[in-house]
Amino acid sequence: MPSSHLRKQSRLYRAVAKARTLWVLRSVFAKQPRAALEYVRSEELDNFTYEIGNEEELARFIADVLGVAPRRVAHLRCELQEDIALRERLAVKLRPRTDRRDEPLFGRRIGWYCMVRLVKPSLVVETGTHDGLGTALLLRALERNAEEGSVGRLPTFDIDAASGWLLEEHAMLERVVGDTRKVLPRTLKGVAVDVFIHDSATRTSTSASSSRQRSRARANAWS
């Protein structure tokens, strides 16, 4: 296990990190004491996972955007929630970690899964692999699409070589390590991106660069 992850699992490191966050965000937590209490109790220090209370609203949004019946999205939500094999595969890797929850919580990533299942893309691109939880859901959606005859692939980008520890090697998956401003244009040159998940740092320069690279990828695909 990388030294950075070992450090995050030490009690002293975690206590100091949580105290620092509580201090920096004291004005926010003062207005939301329940959120502060949940943060203190949570095992997680970053890349927080959670369930969302408006899954039905998210499903309606996806149905409206893609022009499909809401019941189709509802079916896919159930398909994911009932995927015991996927949950257990992720939980096996989560349980030894003291800086992560024991069970995977999908949150907004449910929407990613439903979208990929409905669009059936040939190429899904994700920036910001981090632990690999969202990546695992995207990959599972592609696996199910392939079972139905629609094959796709998933390159996922992260600057941290230790990212993606929840993932296993897979023929549809390509893990790319490096600054997306440099490696994204090389990887996507001449290809058409069907679905782009931007889940990396939201610094203005990085976001603008990713946007330009997506545009170039689309332009190159037709040149």
Q: Name residues whose C-beta falls within 8 Å of residue 176's C-beta, 6 or more positions apart in sequence.
A: 155, 156, 157, 158, 183, 187
> HSE-up of 199 (CA within 13 Å, CB side)?
23
Supply 188's token pair.
Answer: 């996507």
Q: What integer pLDDT is reported at residue 199 of this predicted model?
A: 87
Supply 5's token pair.
Answer: 């992850």
Element containing residue 8 per DSSP (H, E): helix 3-8
Query: DSSP string spanning 31-68?
Result: H-HHHHHHHHH-S-SSS-----S-HHHHHHHHHHHHT-
Q: What is the pLDDT along the chain (223 residues), one digit of tens a residue?
A: 455 554 555 777 777 877 888 888 888 888 888 877 777 777 766 677 778 888 999 999 999 999 999 999 999 999 999 999 999 999 999 999 888 889 999 999 999 999 999 999 999 999 999 999 999 999 999 999 999 999 999 999 999 999 999 999 999 999 999 999 999 999 999 999 999 999 876 554 444 445 444 444 443 333 2
Q: What integer pLDDT is reported at residue 204 of this predicted model?
A: 42
Q: What integer pLDDT is reported at residue 201 of this predicted model?
A: 66
Task: Flag whether the pTM goes above 0.85.
Answer: no
